[in-house]
Amino acid sequence: MYRVMIIDDEQKIKNLLKLTIKWEMLGFEVVGEASSGIEAINTIDELNPDVLFVDIRMPFMDGIEFAKLAIERYPYLKIVMLTAFNDFDYARECIGIGVTNYLLKPINKIEINDTLTNIKKELDRHAPREEREQVDEVKLSSIGKVREYVIEHFKEPELNLTSVALKFGFNASYLSRAFKEETGVSFIDFLNGCRMEYAISLSKENQYMYQVAAEVGIPDPNYFGKCFKKYTGLSFSNYIKENKRE
């Protein structure tokens, strides 16, 4: 099965895509979703998708900006751009940056099925994903240096598994496995842990959530809110209320 990630700020569109397409019959599975390009960049390494469905209009980082970054970092990705705007300029720009296809909303099931069928044929022609990965072994002793680097630079919004792997000359997939083997936690959980601990300290300074989000390296406050609640069990506002009572 090839892996699919859906990136759209409209939950109804994500639900519609997941429920109306017979993914498994076409040789695909939906492994995750994101509500913005910022969230996607921070989670794509863990999901390791082959195909992305991306909304062209999203907050903080639009679909074209995200696609340029994704294609640069993951040249094997197949990206299908979704838009409600029948604008040929957008279509030309999408094709120019290497997007696989460009589909208009409302979603047409037949067009998506045809697109997925063509993508599968193209993916089948290439080597399996295991053969595509580079051969560079990561010495576990290097993970300590990676941890130190993350601790020093976690406030930088562009910091993620791929950027760190490039910094140290590693393959991102292998670094992910080696990091968890050595530390017992995934890279993204470690990174978010650094960011959330700093956010907790900042929550005592009466700052707004969007200000704290930006300071800890997550410019998308919605994604920050998800990370904060996952880490603490409380929303940012409820966490502040609870701690004021103490």
Q: Given 132, 153, 186, which residue is the final one in a domain?
A: 132
Mean pLDDT, consecutive 10-residue segments, the chain of 246 residues?
Answer: 91 89 93 90 85 86 83 85 71 72 83 93 70 52 89 94 86 84 90 95 89 94 94 93 72
Residue 74 CA neighbour count, 13 Å, CB half: 22
The residue type at 76: Y
114 part of a folded domain: yes
* 181 and 59 housed in the same domain: no
- C-alpha to C-alpha distance for 51 and 117, rounded to whole angstroms: 12
pLDDT of residue 76: 83
137 part of a folded domain: no
Could you tell me whether strands 51-55 and 101-104 are parallel, antiparallel, or unpaired per DSSP bridges? unpaired
Residue 107 CA neighbour count, 13 Å, CB half: 23
The helix or strand, by DSSP H or E, that contains position 226, with its residue range, turns out to be helix 221-232
Identify the three-state secondary structure at position 6: strand
**Inter-residue contact 193 to 203 (CB < 8 Å):** no
The residue count for the chain: 246
**Beta-carbon neighbour count of residue 75 at 10 Å?**
9
* 126 and 7 housed in the same domain: yes
* 124 and 6 housed in the same domain: yes
* 238 and 124 housed in the same domain: no
* 158 and 231 housed in the same domain: yes
Query: What CATH number corresponds to the domain at position 15?
Result: 3.40.50.2300
* 175 and 89 housed in the same domain: no
68 part of a folded domain: yes
Q: Given 107, 132, 157, which residue is the final one in a domain?
A: 132
* 8 and 96 housed in the same domain: yes
Query: What CATH number corresponds to the domain at position 185?
Result: 1.10.10.60
pLDDT of residue 138: 52
Please give the residue range of the domain that contains residue 233.
Answer: 142-245
Which is nearest to 60 in space by CA: 86, 34, 21? 34
